[in-house]
């Protein structure tokens, strides 16, 4: 996870997969391996992996909840929103982090084109944990989808002033570029470089 946030996404993916191969019974390793497969090969391949591996009832509650939340995201990516809702409810019932499950709910609602409700879910996550990076990114993206670019800009700038996050700075630079704020975008890109000491060439 640290490698990914420091600019080495490919290395992070390789480490996640290696961790799972070395300890295939570890639920957290399975979660990150499945997420990596989702990013590399799509939701069906990740869904099939989790289906083969089962629910891991003996896993710690947080890891079990994360696996249910990932199933919810995969189901929504496959446009099966009833299954997604059921899996997310299991994540919430399993003792999952309510902040993370609120972010997942926002992503699922976005997939359903329910943008205002998705934004409400992302803001609930921010109410529970101010400046939580995944919630900031979700909320800013949803504000853009709702044509509220200036609010998204303010949110991302506020977050970047408080957090050391290359992915946040990337998102801010992209929005500044889209709005024609090129000098600001250049500064944000320079910040990305500062926060990505092991960045990969691509």
- Percent of the chain past pLDDT 70, that is, above it, reads 100
Structure tokens at 110: 């976005």
Q: For the full predicted model, state whether its pTM sits above 0.75.
A: yes
- Read off the pLDDT band of 55 (50, 70, 90): confident
Average pLDDT over residues 110-136: 98
pLDDT of residue 105: 97
Q: If you average pLDDT over residues 44-72, what whole number do you get?
A: 93
Structure confidence at residue 113 (pLDDT)? 97
Supply 196's token pair. Answer: 């990505």
Tell me the pLDDT tens digit for each residue of 73-84. 999 999 999 999
pLDDT for the residue 94: 86
b/e map 144-173, b = 16+ CB within 10 Å: beeeeeeebbebbbebbeeeebbbbbbbbb
| 20-29, 38-47, 57-66, 165-174, range with the lowest pLDDT | 57-66
CA–CA separation, 73 vs 108, rounded Å? 6
Question: In the structure, what pLDDT confidence band is assigned to residue 9 with cuts at 50, 70 and 90?
Answer: very high
Segment 50-56 mean pLDDT: 90
For residue 57, give the 3-state DSSP assignment.
coil
- For 159-202, write each residue's pLDDT tens digit: 999 999 999 999 999 999 999 999 999 999 999 999 999 999 88
């Amino acid at each position: 996870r640290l490698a990914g946030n420091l600019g080495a996404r490919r290395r992070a993916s390789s480490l996640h997969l290696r961790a799972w191969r070395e300890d295939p019974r570890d639920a957290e390793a399975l979660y990150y391996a499945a997420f990596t497969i989702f990013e590399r090969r799509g939701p069906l391949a990740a869904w099939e992996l989790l289906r083969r591996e089962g629910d891991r009832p003996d896993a710690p509650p947080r890891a079990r909840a994360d696996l249910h939340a990932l199933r919810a995201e995969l189901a929504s990516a496959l446009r099966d929103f009833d299954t997604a809702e059921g899996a997310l409810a299991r994540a919430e019932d399993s003792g999952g982090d309510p902040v993370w499950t609120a972010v997942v709910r926002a992503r699922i609602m976005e997939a359903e084109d329910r943008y205002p409700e998705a934004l409400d879910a992302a803001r609930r996550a921010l109410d529970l944990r101010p400046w939580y990076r995944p919630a900031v990114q979700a909320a800013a993206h949803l504000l853009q989808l709702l044509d509220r670019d200036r609010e998204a800009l303010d949110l991302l700038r506020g977050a970047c002033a408080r957090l050391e996050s290359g992915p946040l700075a990337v998102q801010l630079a992209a929005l500044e570029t889209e709005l024609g704020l090129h000098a600001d975008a250049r500064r944000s890109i320079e910040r990305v470089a500062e926060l990505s000491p092991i960045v990969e060439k691509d």
